[in-house]
Structure 1
Amino acid sequence: MTEFILEGETPVRVSLRRSAQARRLSLRVSRLDGRVTLTMPRHVPEREAVAFVREKEVWVRRQLDRQVAVRRPAFGVTIPVLGAPLEIIQGAGRGARMEAGCLVVPGGEDMLMARITAYLKLQARTRLRQASDSYAAALGVSFGKITLRDTRSRWGSCTSDGNLMYSWRLVMAPEAVLDYVAAHEVAHLLEMNHSPAYWAHVARVCPQYRQHRDWLRVYGQELHAWDFSH
């Protein structure tokens, strides 16, 4: 058995995953996609694992009730860009643009997703490049290339050879939050860890980093809830 169903008015699919490193049963409900996973030691019988989940059913359903509903961009829908709510409206031209508190998107519904995604990625690259350059200068370091991805597990990363990766969805967060993630990753060019020395570098260039980090912990799932698939 690799999964089972918690029966009820709303059935819940639970994935079972054995791990050689696991020392106890561990139940997790993803805040990104609502996936329920039970990690279990190799020696634990499946019937014991299923019984454990059933005991935690109230908790599981409570976590699922807190999930943010998936949203899709459409004309008339409001979408955040650098933390500002912009209504998506139809207009003339070739590419999407911000204008008078709106996100103007040329063409019809068939081109909407592609044009909004292109706009957000361009804005993300521009803003993250500016922020990375600024923090690198402040900390006296240099970095290699910047890559944008649609990552679910992290907002950014720094490789040992000095390259930076960011989630382009950060462009929907408040500008100060985007800047914090850039400061976070650039500081790793000095310390490839999360030691007190590392956080001192972050605090030097981003004194309110705790506030911005907490914003991502609380509201980050709302950025992932936007569905840009065509």
Structure 2
Amino acid sequence: MSDVILEGDPPISLILRRSARAKRISLRISQLDGRVTLTLPKRVPETEAISFAREKETWIRGHLDARGSDVAVAPGAELPIGGQMHRVVAGAGRRVSFSPGEVCVPGAPARTGRRLEGHLKQIARARLAEASDHYAERLGRSYDRITLRDTRSRWGSCSSDGRLMYSWRLILAPPEVLDYVAAHEVAHLAEMNHSAAFWDGVRRIYGDYAAPRRWLRQHGADLHRYRFSL
């Protein structure tokens, strides 16, 4: 893979990727990080691929504009916590605290993002453990343990030996979305698939999951726009 720049205002970085399986030039824009990947067959010259990208420049810029830019989490930034927007402000004392519409983060401004990330992970672990316990009890099954990661391809997973994994960024989403993901993964303790029986299980322990599932599809990628490490 290599990078080239599509000139313009602003310039766009293109990742060129050759593929033996590709039969034609294709473009993909990641909704998670805004990376633009240009895939081309082995024998196609790079100049032809770049010309293809120039023809699609309006389409590329439209998608990037719709995605929005990344947000560096620092004093003055705004980010969702529990689905509600909070402004990051300097705090006093030693602990991160909340006031209406604000999250107060003490310490050096350069460490604000990392400190808030650590605090949010603690809250996420407690909330996800509470939700997992609740739905496991309703299902009549038990799980082994919970781990948190910053995953990009999935919001959670359940292994065959009962280990649950969640994205800690779920704490940024509305509470009902976090609860739905917990119920979804817990339901896999009984059904390691996405069969009708599995979805019946989710509905039985959670209820109508259509709205939070739709929210994740429409807005979930936005939660990855917030950058806690500068």
Q: 1:206–1:26: structure 2 CA closer, same or farther, 3 Å change rule?
A: farther
| Maintained 8 Å contact 2:3/2:14 | yes
Aligned to 2:123: 123
Deviations 1:36-75 (A, max 9, x none): 1133455666566445444433322211121222212333
Q: Distance in 2 between matches of 1:56 and 1:101?
A: 41
SS in 2 for 1:14: strand
Runs of 4 or more above 4 Å deviation:
20-25, 40-52
Provide the TM-score with structure 1 as the length reference: 0.86
Q: Distance in 1 between matches of 2:111 and 2:57?
A: 42
AA paired with 1:172? Answer: L
AA paired with 1:70? Answer: D
CA RMSD between the two structures: 2.5
Aligned to 1:185: 185
For structure 1, which runs of at least 5 residues remain unmatched after alignment? Answer: none
| Maintained 8 Å contact 1:95/1:115 | no
Matches within 5 A, 1:141-152: 141-152=141-152
Aligned to 1:98: 98
Aligned to 1:135: 135
Q: 1:58–1:78: structure 2 CA closer, same or farther, 3 Å change rule?
A: closer
| Cα displacement (A) at 1:10 | 3.3
AA paired with 1:218? Answer: Q
Q: 1:201–1:49: structure 2 CA closer, same or farther, 3 Å change rule?
A: farther
| Maintained 8 Å contact 1:5/1:12 | yes
Q: 1:76–1:45: structure 2 CA closer, same or farther, 3 Å change rule?
A: closer
For structure 2, which runs of at least 5 residues remain unmatched after alignment? Answer: none
| Cα displacement (A) at 1:3 | 4.4
Provide the TM-score with structure 2 as the length reference: 0.86
Matches within 5 A, 1:1-230: 2-20=2-20, 22=22, 25-40=25-40, 42=42, 49-50=49-50, 52-230=52-230
Identity of aligned residues (%): 54
